[in-house]
Structure formats: C-alpha cells, structure tokens
Amino acid sequence: MRKLVPSFLVVVVALLALPVSAAPSGHLEGYIPQAAHLSGKFNSFWTTDVWIYTESATKVHLWFNQTGRDNTNVQSVVIPLTGPVTFLPDILQNTFVVSSTKGSIHYLADGQVEVVSRTWTPGKDGGSYGQVIYGMPVSMAAMPGAGPSGSLRMLVNETDGFRVNLGLANVTSSPVTVTVEVFTADGQAAPGASSFAMTLQPYDMQQKDDILAALPAGQRQGLIVRASVSAGDGAILGYLSVVDNTTNAANYQEAFRFGF
C-alpha cells in the first residue's frame, strides 16, 4: 500500500479488478504513464500539464514516480476537486516541486475522475508541439503469466527523420522484468536486434528511446511491439511515442492487450 496523506478516506481499487476492454469514461485509480520537466533531444524542453475532470470525486491523491527509482515510500499530494475541471500546469515543478526529471503520475480519487495530460515543448519557430495522454486505469495493466494475449501491444511505422520511444510503468510494489519484442506484420521476429529486456523497480517508470535503431534501414514499417512481464510479480502499463526529429511533434499510442 502506498503512503496516503492522513484524513483522506477512499476505497482502493484492486489491481485488475475491473473487466474492461478499453478505458472507461471514469475511474478511481490510474496512471499518466509519462510526465516530464526536462530537456530532451534536438533542443527540446518538455513539461507536462494535467487536467482532472471530476464526475463524483471531491479529492484525489497524486504520486510522482520518478524514473529509475523504487517509489514505494513516496508520499502523495492531495488535490481538492472543487470545480468540474482542475488544471495543474507544469505539474512536476508546481505540484511536486521537482525539475530536470521525468516519470509517471499515479492518481487515486474518492470518486470517478477522468485525467488528461499534455506533455509539450516550445516549437523552434513559435507555437508548441507535444502529445496528449489520457489517464490509464490500473485494470488495463499486463500482469505475470498473462501470455501473449495479455501482453501489451503497440503498432508502429517509422520513417526517416523520426524516432520511436517506448515507455513502461510498473503499477505495483513488486519489481518486474519486461521482455520487449518487435515483430513484422506476419508474426515473424523483425530483422536485426528485435528484442530487449527492461527491469523496473516498484512503481518505477522508464522510457527507452529510439527502440528501432538496431533494425536495418527500410525495415521499420508495419511492425508490432509486444511487452510481456517475464520475471517478477509486477504489472505494467505502456505507450509508444513517435517523434519528428525536426519539429519534435509527437504521436502518442496507448498500449493495449487482447486478453482481460
């Protein structure tokens, strides 16, 4: 159990308790799998804004899970939900008082909420570029022993001038090792170095950048990326982000699974 600020009563939703095939319109507990306040590639600087839409909630606990750490003992920040929408700009710096870092945000409300974020960078010629990420309920996580149908899957086409980043969030207090495999559309292993492993500590989030770099040029379209829990008792959520190297415009894709 994660540490809660005193005087907040809430029924904790058990992991994977809700049999859903897609994110419901509202839920009690979930994750924004990526949030940032730091410099990135090609002179980008990424920050994350968050909107919390309440259906019946009056308060929400938020935890920031910093990348590469055991975040079991992180204490929550409690946000009162006094209106239909609560806006938290640059949430890492303003709400959690951290910078030069990235990670995931875990939320747990006392009623139904929908959480939406935008992680963005200023454009080189004005404006901004980024990606909208919807909060993912914990019931969508892939767990140990789920088999291929219960693994996380993502689809990708990468062309010249783009990079593909993979993010994973451990949504449990147990460490986990994840095997990531890249397949062609016919189910065969993609040519080149098409598999690797990632190890996440409790409540850890990690992003591996440019995951298709080890595949031959011209062999990076029509691909399936599969992430499976291969060791440990943890469970994971995930995403792909396809980023334009010139503009830093990003195309976000939420990982899904067939089996529930």
Supply 133's token pair: 């990420």
Nearest-angstrom CA–CA distance, 207 and 238 = 9
Q: Let me know if domain 147-254 sits in CATH 2.60.290.
A: yes
Taking all residues of the chain, what is their mean pLDDT, rounded to a whole number?
Answer: 89
With beta carbons less than 8 A apart as the criterion, state whether 104 and 31 touch: yes
Supply 18's token pair: 């809700």
- Please tell me the predicted confidence (pLDDT) of residue 25: 63
Instruction: Output the CATH code of domain 27-139.
Output: 2.60.290.11
How do the domains of the chain map onto residue ranges?
A: 27-139, 147-254
Nearest-angstrom CA–CA distance, 120 and 101 = 14
% of the chain exceeding 90 in pLDDT = 68
Residue 189 has pLDDT above 70, yes or no: yes
* 3-state percent breakdown (helix, strand, coil) of the chain, nearest 5: 5, 50, 45
- Please tell me the predicted confidence (pLDDT) of residue 175: 97
Q: What angle do CA 222, 223, 226 make, to 5 degrees?
A: 155
With beta carbons less than 8 A apart as the criterion, state whether 58 and 9 touch: no
Digit-coded pLDDT (tens) for 109-138: 999 999 999 999 998 888 898 899 999 999
Using a 10 angstrom Cβ sphere, with 0-12 exposed, 13-18 middle and 19 or more buried, the burial of residue 141 is buried
Nearest-angstrom CA–CA distance, 23 and 237 = 12
With beta carbons less than 8 A apart as the criterion, state whether 32 and 133 touch: yes
Q: What are the residues whose beta carbons fall under 8 Å from the beta carbon of 125, sequence distance 6 or more?
A: none
- Among candidates 40, 42, 45, 69, which has minimal Cα distance to 170? 69
Digit-coded pLDDT (tens) for 202-215: 999 999 999 999 88
Nearest-angstrom CA–CA distance, 127 and 132 = 16
Digit-coded pLDDT (tens) for 10-34: 333 334 444 444 444 689 999 999 9
Domains 27-139 and 147-254 share a fold: yes
